[in-house]
Structure 1
Amino acid sequence: MFLYALGKLLRAVLVVFLVSVLTFFALELTPGSVATSILGVGATSEAVSQLEQTLGLDRPAAVRFIEWLGNLLSGDLGNSDLTKLPIATTVMQAAFTTLQLVVLGVLLSLGFAVVAGALAARFPRGLIDRLGDGLTSMAIALPTFVIGPILAYLLAVQLGWFPVASYTPPSDGVEPWLRSIALPVFCLALGEFATFQRLLRADLIAVLQEPYIEAARARGLSERRILMLHAMRPAAIPAMTAVGLSVGRMLGGTIIVETLFGVPGLGRTLSTAILARDLDVLLVGVVLVAGAFVFINTFIDLAYGIVDPRVRLRATAS
């Protein structure tokens, strides 16, 4: 099992490295320069070239990548050429805000999906199952950029329950913080809830037809105990895989959600960096997102052995 885990981690590191290489040289091929953003579109080519030389942008791309990689490994990313602010501080503060949205979104969607999926599996083709199917179909059909304005208009503008575009950090109080992120979290969670609910429902129905479930019923166990203790655990394996994929979808969705609701997270920071050609911030942000996605999925792969011992035994045998 140790060698299995070590191999997974080494592959994750390799994937993050390849993403950083591809991202760096892809950005090198894009037109424009941060020097143009600093000086403005009216700057002469001589002034732009002089500033690029001052910033070291005239050096070969391979040399600058090796220098950037060394700075990344040492933790000294320097300051942004555009904003003059520390890159590490800028990205990590934005990432912490985005982390709040993603974690709460996953927990919210999973919590409701477990309850709704269990009820639907307990009473298949019943009223609850039919209502759940309609709600999940609607949630899947409506994208984030449609759900967001609707929620903002109804719950923030009309009812005044939540602020429209105002983020409050946790240090200012739990209640104001939760109110400020409630709408973006719900936008991110709604589509993932539909995915989790359908996966859990389908797998629970299949597991409840297994012979060992019939044996548990024959021993006189209640349906609730069978469902939660004997059926939920094996049915959770596909949902665990979906959690890893949902993190990637949520990270992509934060660009829209954070811009819509004025949340200073990583998605909004990266979109601003793209428009301003702040490539140093953009590169670190992309590598951080890729690393988070890869390592979360690696952790989920390792967690399979805890949820299902058969996975651990296969890994040990191989």
Structure 2
Amino acid sequence: MLHYTIKRLASLVISLAVASLAIFFVIEIVPGDPASYMLGINVQPDTLAALRAELGLDQSRLDRYVSWITGMLAGDFGTSYTYRTPVARMVADRLWITLPLAGYALVLSLVIAFPAGIYAAARRGRAGDTAVMGATQLGVAIPNFWFAMFLVLIFAIRLRWFNAGGFPGWDNGLFAGLRALTLPAIALALPQGAILARVMRSALIDVLGQDFMRTARAKGLSRRQALWRHALRNALIPVLTIVGMQFSFLIAGTIIIEQVFYLPGLGRLIFQSISARDLIVVESVIMLIVFAVIVINFAVDLAYALIDPRLRART
């Protein structure tokens, strides 16, 4: 297990290094100078040069990359060009919306997927299985931003059960915060729950066909008892990998959903920073999201190895 962990940790470090290079240099080659954007087209050359020096834009790209990455390793994400505020503080303020939203959506996707996948697998080939698979196919096909607008139209505009957008703040109570995040979380959870339900069904059907399941049935267990006592645990191995990946996708998916619902999270911060050519904020926030995705996948790999001893034996 130690050897496997070291290998995965080395892969994590390499992935982060490659991602940081790609993020920095791809954003840096985007046309447009942040200082020129901030000062306008009629700016004097000496004023422009002074602002570029203040922002550190007069340094070479390699020097700026080294300064940026070493600062992030020390917890310093730099200072916003537009707001003149530490990026770490901006991220911390927005993180308390994005992370609860992604976690809320993950819980909803599990609530949707597990019963649906188990129900479909237990009724393979019957009408219930066909109905569940048809519903999940529809869930996968519908874009989450379109579904988000549909939810706003029905539950916010017509029924007036929820607000169409905005966030009241956690200071107003947990219920008020969760109420504001409910529609965005449902919009995020639908496609992920549909995918996970299909994976759960396939994994269960594969396990139900194994020899040890026939042995369990031969010992007198009913189909339901064999499914809940033996099949479900073994089917969770591939499902666990998908769950970890889904949380990563949910964090990234908040970028669009936060725009639809005007939530002041990391996704909206990225859009605002792109519009203002605030490159240091864009680079740092995207790197933070990539870091979260890679670390989550690393944790899933370790959990996978703990559940499946065969994986440890091969390393």
Is TM > 0.5 for Structure 1 vs Structure 2? yes
Amino acid at match of 2:50: Q
Query: Does the 8 A contact of 1:12 with 1:295 survive in 2?
Result: yes
Q: CA deviation at 1:261?
A: 0.5
Amino acid at match of 1:201: R
Query: Does the 8 A contact of 1:304 with 1:312 survive in 2?
Result: no
The CA deviation string for residues 31-80 of structure 1, in whole angstroms up to 9 with x for no partner, is: 11221232234434553233112322111111122122221122233421
CA distance in 2, matches of 1:256, 1:77: 23
Q: CA deviation at 1:158?
A: 0.5
CA distance in 1, matches of 2:63, 2:93: 29
The CA deviation string for residues 213-250 of structure 1, in whole angstroms up to 9 with x for no partner, is: 11111222233332123111221222222223323432
Determine whether 1:226 maps to 2:226. yes
Amino acid at match of 2:192: E
Q: Match for residue 282 of structure 2?
A: 282
Q: CA deviation at 1:105?
A: 1.3
Q: Secondary structure at the match of 1:162?
A: coil
CA distance in 2, matches of 1:66, 1:133: 50
Amino acid at match of 2:101: L
Query: Does the 8 A contact of 2:157 with 2:164 survive in 1?
Result: yes
Query: Does the 8 A contact of 1:37 with 1:82 survive in 2?
Result: no
CA distance in 1, matches of 2:229, 2:278: 51
Q: Match for residue 165 of structure 2?
A: 165
Q: Match for residue 195 of structure 2?
A: 195
Q: Match for residue 16 of structure 2?
A: 16
When the two chains are superposed, the root-mean-square deviation of aligned CA atoms in Å is 1.7
Q: How many residues align?
A: 315
CA distance in 2, matches of 1:172, 1:128: 43
Q: Match for residue 130 of structure 1?
A: 130
Q: Match for residue 66 of structure 2?
A: 66
Q: CA deviation at 1:253?
A: 2.0
Q: Match for residue 98 of structure 2?
A: 98
- Structure-2 change in CA distance of 1:36 and 1:140 (3 Å): same
CA distance in 1, matches of 2:39, 2:228: 62
Query: Does the 8 A contact of 1:101 with 1:185 survive in 2?
Result: yes
Amino acid at match of 1:95: L
Q: Match for residue 235 of structure 2?
A: 235
Q: Match for residue 29 of structure 2?
A: 29
Q: Provide structure 2 residue ranges, at least 5 long, that are not aligned to the other structure.
A: none
Q: Provide structure 1 residue ranges, at least 5 long, that are not aligned to the other structure.
A: none
Amino acid at match of 2:201: R
Determine whether 1:40 maps to 2:24. no
% identical aligned pairs = 36
CA distance in 2, matches of 1:43, 1:254: 37
Determine whether 1:81 maps to 2:81. yes
The CA deviation string for residues 241-290 of structure 1, in whole angstroms up to 9 with x for no partner, is: 22233234323321210001011111111111111111111111111111
The equivalences for 1:125-274 within 5 A come to 125-274=125-274
CA distance in 1, matches of 2:225, 2:40: 67
The CA deviation string for residues 168-205 of structure 1, in whole angstroms up to 9 with x for no partner, is: 33342121111100011011110011111111111211
Q: Secondary structure at the match of 2:167?
A: coil
CA distance in 2, matches of 1:111, 1:227: 19
